[in-house]
Structure 1
Amino acid sequence: MKKEIYRCACCSPDFGALFKTNNIVSKLSVASLSKVAATQTSQYKTIDRRTFLKGSMVAGTALFLPSIPSCSPVVEQQTTVFTGGTILTVDTEFSQAEAMAIRGNKIIAVGAKDKVLASAGANVKVVELHGKTMLPGFIDPHTHVVAGSIVDDIMEYVGMARFDAVDQVLAHLTMLAQQKAEGEWIVARNFDPSIQTGLDELTFKELDAISTQHPIFVLNASGHLAYANSKAFEVAGIPDDIKNPLGAEFVRNKQGQLTGVIKNNIAFLQVVGAYPALAEADPTNALINLLKKWSQYGLTTVSELSLGALSQSPADHSVMEAAARTGKLAARIRAYPFYSIGEEAWDDANVTPQRGDALARVAGYKFVADGSNQGYTGLQRAPYLNSDSHGLAYMSTEELTTRAIERAQKGWQLAIHGNGDAAIDNILDVCQAMRDAGVDMKNVRTRIEHCSILHNDQIQRMKALDVSASFLIGHVHYWGVAMRDEVFGEEKATLLDRCNSLEKAGVGFTLHSDFMVTDPVPLHMIEMAVTRKTRKEPDYVLAPNERISVESAIRAITSEAAWQLFSEHEIGSLEVGKLADMVILANDPRKVAPDEIKNIKVLETWMDGKQVYQA
């Protein structure tokens, strides 16, 4: 396998270049934001993360964008009572209830069946669960939905979660060519030969064998490599003597001939930019459609951890706002403006902490300290295996400190991307500097995104500085063997995603997909954290001492995720006063074999008191 060096695609300031040819994105203007008055910034309450539920049974006052109606006005006062199954509230005690009542978009009663029915009133509808299991709606605290929704809308997924081998990918592309009319594009994403067995790359040879009548373009999972057939080069007007753009490459063979392999988006955008669907995609509709699709996984709240990546401006907020205004969103969104756009630009656009309402809200601010471990750009204390490289720092500690303090002092929560252990050192140094500058770290609730390679001394520092972690748990399942054999070596690989160590130390953590890196399937994420088995070697358990209980994994995608998103007053558990977001499963995740958790069927998803999915 070739060792490709690449940065984290979703957190790269260059990612938005992919959408420059989109008709709507090119017209997005920050001016549209200034027409909407900024809402008043809420004051964060200092509260211990493990006991926040005890004093917050009733949802707090929501902050509303003036042009967006409330999430779901109460027009029908019928009460719906769910009973006859297992209702896991995921409250502080992880208690189980006999029944739960909702009216409008709120939970009005939870507990013993007779008491819940007594409180329901005369206009009541009883829904029998027939032994099924109800949980709070699942929350993915780190995705990239605004830009990612367009990619998902116009590119076929051919990644590791769907195909184990390159041959399977090629067979699927062949099937698509047979189904599409001559001249139609075949565009795919998330191809990953570092995980999928077989060829290291796709060239004219493989892709022209599929079709010379259809332009074919395949995007590598890294976001920094792509592959195309000769027809795509022809349609895009790429000549044989094309010159390489600065920092990019149209790869050639030893004879000097183009191979169809393209490095860096500066080059491959010249090819995929000719794809008509890329220009025609509607970001608002794509976002609505993506969240509707995700209802099948039980997701009721998602996040946008690089707001601004689509348009490379604060205008991304208008996309989220427009989608919310339609009333068609099937899940809530919590967004984090991206640092590469610049603090002044966000401030000038009146994008402020907690701007929005219960449906779509700005939650915090995102910084990036390093790159990707599997891309050898995560910043490490020691060099990568069989290498003298320590990776890359995306920001100096001095710059990150200055900008983090400025944001924190203005009331922003901070989410800071850190994969390598040296990057995490730097982040914790920044957190110490914030505390030294008088910042109340309990109010800031700093999150380390991915927090991949973690040492014991860092866990203690996180505890002392009130810092939590959000783990891309797919690192263990999909890349665990590669981390052991190619990236770090066996000993350091055991430091990956240390869920159990954090739990024992009293440090909060969540699980996330980092969509488009992995797919947002909460039940699979629970299984990954519980078993820590790897996809490439199914019987291999990476760091078995870091496995956690099913209950802890459920918390990591419900109540803990709500807390990290500053939404624990309204979502994350089934308690009186909270919003009626829940999922109904065919089985109790605690009572099936750990290897079968991902196969549990999602029967229904409810968001804001409405059924948004039924199997």
Structure 2
Amino acid sequence: MKNLYKKSKMALLVMVMLGAFSCKEQQEVEQNYTLFHGGTILTVDEAFSEVEAMVIKDQKIVAVGSFENLNNEYGQSAKLIDLEGRTMLPGFIDAHSHAVSGALANNLMDYIGMSRFKTTEEVLEYLRQKVKETPEGDWITGRNWDPAVQDGPEELTTSILDSISTQHPIFILNASGHLAYANSRAFEASGIDSTVENPDGAEFVKDSQGNLNGVMKNMLSFIQVMTANPKMQTYDPVPALLELLDEWSAEGVTTSSEFALGAATNSPADLEIMLEAAKNEAFHVRLRAYPSYIINDQWNEIGLKNNTGNDLAKVVGFKLVADGSNQGFTGLQRETYCCSASHMTSFGNEYTSVDDLYSYAKERTEQGFQLAIHGNGDKAIDNILAVLQRLKDEGYEFEGLRPRIEHASILHDDQIRKMKELGVTPSFLIGHVYYWGTFMRDEVFGKEKVQLLDRCASVEKVNMPFSLHSDFMVTNTLPLEMIETAVTRRTWKEPDYQLAPQEAISVESAIKAVTAHAAWQLMSEDEIGSLEVGKYADMVILEEDPRKVEPTNISEIKVLETWFNGKKVYQLEEN
């Protein structure tokens, strides 16, 4: 009997202890709740709902609704954060960027673009100073030079760069990312001379005597020079990528992308770099990657699978390229370029033939990859649509694969109808309007055709989702600037000029284009893009509501905080 009593007491003690431990554990879990209130919370759900409060736990959103209801349910076990009248949105998403390759260029190349130097002569003077400071034989490299907006010569030829130095290899990347320039020493260091053969769809431009003139069109050509830089061998890519992503966090970005995976190292090592970076606690921006066709055979050799990776960083599609850059006169057009004497007989460049584009597209569609096909000129977009129509006629379905046209710069009404019919959506590089709008009007397309640039309102009218993107490094990753440009259609060189004002969209639509619709295009709408229950707690807190300021001031709104996976990863320092 005593033993039974002792056993009963022991059992009761164990139960009490377990109960106490369970209560303590439950209390600790409940304290992981965080309740945001006291400001404007825009969920960017289907109805663009505005709610009073939101609750997160660990990495996910667990509730949205009225402050009274959520406070009653979670208030006693939650940390309350008063937004103090500020505005919360889903974290911004850059639907087309170059994070891995951009980190390399950002780390190894000096920025010599429009926001630093207004003229090419200023750029050349800067390079002359670099020569004086750089040991003989070391490379001098620059990025984002742009003759479309930096007054001076149209090209940086070998003769111009040789006048800077013949003792230093010099390599300059055009802002478009589709052109590059080198001096004779850089070609020599790369083992390239006038006998070099042009890769398919690319060109080492030569003069009338057959000598290299320094201009290279398409990455397939200039990557051979860029990768000859010895710093490419000692470059540590993971810290550089993490540093770049931190810069984007300060702009409210919680998801970005890599649309030429393989271009940084000219190998599948880019995928390893991205996945390795994602293991680091300092990885605060999700990445969605699109392997590039330029190393298609290498991807096949490693047996690349779609969705390789995880919710932090993964492959979600495959990147193809139909043409080049309109402002670089390599975008493929239905008609010749209109205004610049040196280009009035040119239709641009077909980077990938229709037959090759079809072969790549068929192969990757059969493997379940989303297709993301670069097309700037209207003829290039014709080619893309012809390829997709052929695949559809052969029985391939796109509904679940959501093919995209990247940039989709010039769209005619018939192309918009065809896109709608095929289930194809555009992602617009809206910086084409802001930075190059007047150049497109005066030098590239003329006043009539330029009205077809970045037709946001027209595709919205047919209920076609679209996104806005930076195409970093073509433009910087500034989501609020992208929203402002889509709303105002103002241009950098002529601030009072509106390019195609009929294509302006509402602030709400522009916000969707850098949140919910961008997530959908990146095959990630179940995880991110809106503040809804079950999605990751990726948010940005702004000083003001973009809907309630003057449209021309949207880009000036301060990003106060950025939250990623339920943790604050950026806070604006107070002066």
Question: TM range, normalised to the smaller chain?
Answer: 0.7 to 0.9
Cα deviations by residue, 1:464-509 (Å, 9 ceiling, x for unpaired): 1111100111111111112111111111111011000000111111
Residue 539 of structure 2, aligned match among 582, 599, 603: 582
The corresponding residue for 2:246 is 292
Deviation at 1:238, TM superposition (A): 11
Is contact 1:245-1:267 (8 Å) kept? Answer: no
Q: How does 1:331-370 map to 2 (within 5 A)?
A: 331-342=285-296, 345-370=298-323
Q: Secondary structure of the equivalent of 1:83?
A: strand
Determine the C-alpha separation between the residues in 1 that align with 2:315 and 2:212. Answer: 45
- Whole-angstrom distance in 1 between the partners of 2:204 and 2:352: 26
Aligned residues: 534
Can you list the C-alpha shifts for 1:211-245, whole angstroms capped at 9, x where unaligned? 999987543325533366xxx95998799xx8785
Which residue of 2 is the match for residue 120 of structure 1? 74
> Secondary structure of the residue that 1:584 maps to in structure 2?
strand
Which residue is equivalent to 2:465? 508
AA at the equivalent of 2:329? Y
Alpha-carbon deviation of 1:606? Answer: 0.9
Post-superposition shift, 1:262? 6.1
Report the secondary structure of 2:56's partner residue.
Answer: strand
Q: 555-564 or 432-441, which moves further after superposition?
A: 432-441
Does the 8 Å CA contact 1:107/1:576 hold for their aligned counterparts? yes
Residues 199/95 of structure 1: CA separation in 2 closer, same or farther (3 Å cut)? same
Supply the RMSD in Å over aligned alpha carbons.
3.5
Name 2:37's counterpart in structure 1. 83
Superposed, which structure 2 residues align to 1:92-491 within 5 Å?
A: 92-120=46-74, 122-166=76-120, 169=123, 187-198=141-152, 200=154, 218-223=172-177, 224-226=179-181, 233=185, 277-342=231-296, 345-385=298-338, 387-491=344-448
**Structure 2 CA distance for aligned equivalents of residues 186 and 427 of structure 1:** 38
Q: Which of 277-286 and 542-551 deviates more?
A: 277-286
Alpha-carbon offset, residue 159 of structure 1: 1.3
Q: Counterpart amino acid of 1:560? A: H
Specify the code of the residue in structure 2 equivalent to 1:86: T
Check the 8 A contact 2:30/2:78 in 1, yes or no.
no
Say which is worse superposed, 111-120 or 461-470, in terms of deviation. 111-120
Q: 1:170 to 1:130 in 2, by over 3 A?
A: farther
Render the CA deviation track for 1:128-148: whole Å, top value 9, x for unaligned: 111111110000111111112
Shift of 1:279: 3.1
Q: Distance in 2 between matches of 1:586 and 1:401?
A: 48
- Checking the alignment, whether the CA contact within 8 Å between 1:251 and 1:263 is kept in structure 2 is no
- Amino acid across the alignment from 1:484: R
Shift of 1:350: 3.6
Residue range with higher mean Cα deviation, 195-204 or 560-569? 195-204
Equivalent residues of 1:236, 1:270 under 8 A apart: no
Deviation at 1:80, TM superposition (A): 1.2
- Structure 1 residues 499 and 273, CA gap change in structure 2 (3 angstroms): closer
Q: Secondary structure at the match of 1:497?
A: coil
Greater shift in the superposed pair: 303-312 or 519-528: 303-312
Q: 2:362 and 2:189 mapped to 1: Cα distance?
A: 48
Q: Percent identity?
A: 53
Q: Is the 8 A contact 2:537 2:564 kept in 1?
A: yes
Which runs of no fewer than 5 residues in structure 1 stay unpaired?
1-73
**CA deviations over 1:264-306 (Å, ceiling 9, x no partner):** 6899889877855433211222211111111111111011111
The answer for the alignment partner of 1:59 in structure 2 is none
TM-score (norm 1): 0.78
Matched with 2:506 is 549
Stretch moving more, 500-509 or 169-178: 169-178
Aligned to 1:379, what secondary structure does the other structure show? coil
**Worse-superposed segment, 200-209 or 102-111:** 200-209
Cα 1:214/1:325, change in 2 over 3 Å: same
One-letter code aligned to 1:478 = Y
SS at match of 2:250: helix
The letter of the residue matching 1:359 is L
Partners of 1:236 and 1:273 within 8 A in 2:
no
1:367 partner SS: strand
Counterpart of 1:114 in structure 2: which amino acid? E
User: So what's the TM-score if we normalise by structure 2?
Assistant: 0.83
In the TM superposition, what is the alpha-carbon distance from 1:81 to its structure 2 partner?
1.3
8 A Cα contact 1:296 1:602, kept in partner: yes
More displaced 10-residue stretch of structure 1: 96-105 or 324-333: 324-333
